[in-house]
A and B are shown apart, each in its own frame.
Chain A
């Protein structure tokens, strides 16, 4: 591997780490301490899925685990559960990212929406099975819907801000992580 490519890779990873910290930071701001009626999108999950489909090289699996585990700790979620499920979902998407890129945006959106629904539903199931008090179902469902709806917007934003768009698959090689 040439060293400029290596440098770009690490730059991309650092960029994602900064973005993830920014998203966590935004969610921690004590702006609204009232209990919500509906849950907004989980932007961190959106970002992880977007990057894994479009730039899997910038987001190695250990980084997914680290970022989501940190979020688990900071957001008072059961530690490790969401991280494990997100790793599973991203691994499934990562294996298909070539085909997803060839399939156009609709296929990508469908796949990521399924991943979001899968992660949230599996979290809820795991909490029920282990008899942990689970969040109300309505809130989780609204979060799944808003997260899925936020994906195209996040894709547009990522395209403008980070130049993360669709690219023809043959122009770059797969980077194994």
Chain B
């Protein structure tokens, strides 16, 4: 045999095997616990992330900055082109700015006339993106605001323009934003001119498809998509993106948020956030008190005492 034997270690091997078995059992038990009682283990995960991530924090920012700088350096070659393009865009933007200012003034005037008060609870907290999910299969980022800042599960997160995702998992000083592109992300949306309701279902691509659309004929590429506020999940009318037609003929959404550069995210304090704090249940009608046919009134039967099988069938009756 190629394997040398050491007589002094022979007693150790069964013990080692036992310990490895116990270790495996513990790991699998953790997985089973996660499968059964996901919220509890996810809270544990948020705590672990909260504990580990700050120790990386001093390095995460500079290394990310350096890598971004290297990326920007490569684009120096196109500097002239870019400059021209930016000038043209700036020209257009000036016109838009003028229009926006006028609209803002008009809006302010109208609000003043109507004596409207904006809901003070619709404010936001801005967080810096610290880390991404680290896995090619999950689309989420970590931001540096957490329970310390009053962040709750389910709050929407936006970049400057459009919806990015929602908070899913809050630690003390960090929280996870589940991006709209993740496979487990489902957002109720409204498609603007036609007013149709649909669900935006992430599928790990940059153009998530639209699901549960009642009448696809009323929707055409270029339509605006905003959150619908159904189910109390999000405030209504947050910009999500535009409808496009995918190469597979499905209606998809071009997201308004710039997913290539998620640096700062705005977490909206929406008042009623749906929280998931227990395991999933089947949605069934309320259980009836008596299982089986309704028990007849004792007077109609005329029996002094119920028969034993009848009593077993209808214990409450």
Contact = CB atoms under 8 A, between A and B. Distances in A.
Interface stretch (A3-11, A70-78, A107-115, A155-163): A70-78
Contacts of A32: 132
B181 A35 contact: yes
A141 interface: no
Contacts of A177: 16
Given A70-B52, A73-B48, A76-B133, A84 B27 contact: yes
A12 B272 CA distance: 52
Contacts of B141: 30, 33
A30 B129 contact: yes
Interface string A43-83: 00000000000000000011001000111011111111101
B64 interface: yes
Contacts of A170: 4
B131 A28 contact: yes
Given A28-B56, A30-B262, A75-B133, 9 more contacts: A28-B131, A33-B259, A34-B206, A36-B136, A73-B45, A75-B134, A76-B45, A78-B35, A139-B136
A75 B138 contact: yes
Given A73-B48, A74-B49, A91-B20, A133 B183 contact: yes
A133 B132 CA distance: 20
Given A25-B59, A73-B45, A76-B138, A35 B206 contact: yes
B67 A31 contact: yes
Interface string B121-138: 000000001111111111
A81 B48 contact: no
Contacts of A36: 136
A99 interface: yes
Interface string B200-219: 00001110000000000000
A30 B135 CA distance: 11
B31 interface: yes
B286 interface: no
A4 to B, nearest CB: 20
Contacts of A87: 20, 23-24, 27
8 contacts: A24-B134, A28-B60, A28-B132, A80-B27, A81-B31, A102-B2, A170-B4, A176-B9
A13 interface: no
Interface residues of B, number: 59
A75 B142 CA distance: 11
A81 B34 CA distance: 10
A2 interface: no
Contacts of B135: 27, 75-77
Given A29-B131, A62-B23, A135 B137 contact: yes
A27 B3 CA distance: 38
B248 to A, nearest CB: 15
Contacts of A169: 2
A69 B140 CA distance: 19
A73 B49 CA distance: 7
A69 B29 CA distance: 13
Interface in B122-162: 129-142
For the complex of A and B, the 5 pairs showing the least CB-CB separation, nearest first, are A135-B137, A80-B30, A84-B27, A80-B31, A39-B136
Contacts of B3: 98-99
B178 to A, nearest CB: 9
Interface string B1-40: 0111010010011001001100110111111001100000
A98 B5 CA distance: 12
B2 A29 contact: no
B58 to A, nearest CB: 11
A40 interface: yes
A33 B179 contact: yes
Contacts of B238: none
Nearest to B132: A30
A174 interface: yes
A106 interface: no
A130 interface: yes
A33 B260 contact: yes
B199 interface: no
Contacts of A31: 64, 67-68, 132
